[in-house]
Amino acid sequence: MQALAKKLKLLQVGDTAIRRNPLFYADAQRELERLERAGFNERRDWTRDRLSEVLWPASRSGYGLIVRGGRDIASWPLLTKAEVRAAPKAFAVGSQLFTIKASTGGTSGAPLEIVRSLPSVVFEQVCIDRMMQKVGVDARSAKCVVLRTETIKDPNDFNPPYWIHAGGGNRLVLSSTHLNAETIEEYARAIEEFAPECLLGYPTSLEALCLLLKQTKRRLHIPAVLCSSEVLHPRVWHAARHTLGCRLLDYYGQAERVALAYATAQNEYRFMPGYAHVEFEPAGVEGDSRLYEVVGTPLWNRSMALIRYRTGDLIRLPAAWGEHELEELGLGLRTFSGVLGRDSDILVTPDGVKVTGISHFQRDVPNIVRIQVIQESPTKVVILVLPMKEYSERDRDRLMHNAREKLPRNMHVDIRSVTALERTARGKTPFVIHRPPVKELLKHTHAHGNIA
């Protein structure tokens, strides 16, 4: 099933066979549309009923038996990624025959293997299709430009083209690594000739595109843009709408699929109803606001017991809000300003190009507990590795290969095995650390739009 899914993902037929499987898609679509029309009581009752259906089989998993979780969500403790990583098989629920494996991006420096049921994969696609519909795009037929972290070619090869076609010709997948002042005209011409209805991108890549277009006084029209995976700053909302003349939607989620929220206007994010049971764990006070950690339980993936999963992502809410307001927020009936952080996990080249997808360095590299990426200077990157006993030179070479696929040759990469990662004054171990010279370079790119 896993091998088949990987092959089909490259083809248009994969949309039908996996992500838009006709056995599940139409029913899931109707369920989501009904919930979006529903009020508080109907959303709450549906979520509670669905949650009970999820918790019962989860209680029979190895983890469920250990914690003695039942049909009441309160009987389950909060769950951390570290616990799942330590004993992933304990979280398996039912038969794993018709499931699809995936990996988290490793934004904490430690990827996690996830098992997803086919219905959960389909519902994820239903939600994405619905969000695209909100900005006027038919996801089944739309021509889309993709500007994320896909590796298209060697980062040192600056001979065009810097893109490939995929999805039966409906996708133009661009390399974000090669996007700079010297190549922007090639990108603009390729996008113009492709005439996309939508751009799917990371905020940092979108910002680079818009700033470079502005610098060269080049205009493009892309009707709709969907962003994800990083914080979308107000300056990027403005730049995208002004430079591309687009309708813009930003969404927040995770590989674990425990919460999904989206916004079509700045500071107005709302959780998707029916996607997950969302809770908010108090995490501190900030002036007249309170900070909460997003905690979620998937309502569609019954193949893995990720019950009350701590995302580590914080949101800021009014201090006056009580339990009822929080419940309304979790059901998608109130909005919040967005997820805090999540925009620091980038590197910047000596030319000022922001490199995203740093969490992919460790992907498919075994025998590593966690990595930490430190950019000492514009030309020097250090990767700290917390190794397992089995860690070998072969694993190190694979890690270096992944890093070199993302970084140009004028950035030196040093990999070091350590017994502990660097901590901040507050005791945290960030995935990416920028030394002062790099912080200055990042300030310069923000202030002057110096992407290349």
Q: Is the pTM of this model over 0.85?
A: no
The burial class, CB within 10 Å (0-12 / 13-18 / 19+), for 183 is middle
Residue given tokens 């092959």 in the structure block = 7
The predicted pLDDT at position 60 comes to: 95
The predicted pLDDT at position 7 comes to: 44
The predicted pLDDT at position 297 comes to: 98
Kindly give, in sequence order, each residue whose CB lies less than 8 Å from that of residue 428, ignoring residues fewer than 6 positions away: none
Kindly give, in sequence order, each residue whose CB lies less than 8 Å from that of residue 159, ignoring residues fewer than 6 positions away: none
The predicted pLDDT at position 3 comes to: 47
- pLDDT, averaged per 10 consecutive residues of the chain (452 residues), comes to 45 65 93 97 98 96 96 96 91 85 66 88 96 95 91 86 92 90 93 97 87 88 92 86 95 94 96 98 87 95 96 91 98 94 71 78 84 94 91 95 92 93 70 89 58 34
- Torsion sign over Cα 136, 140, 142, 147: positive
The predicted pLDDT at position 76 comes to: 98
The predicted pLDDT at position 257 comes to: 94
DSSP state of 158: -
CA end-to-end span of the chain: 43
Whether 145 contacts 222, CB under 8 Å: yes
Which whole-number Å values give the CA distances from 292 to 59, 277, 283, 336, in the listed order?
A: 27, 15, 5, 11
The predicted pLDDT at position 49 comes to: 97
Token pair, residue 88, equals 């992933």
The predicted pLDDT at position 448 comes to: 43
The predicted pLDDT at position 296 comes to: 98
The predicted pLDDT at position 241 comes to: 92
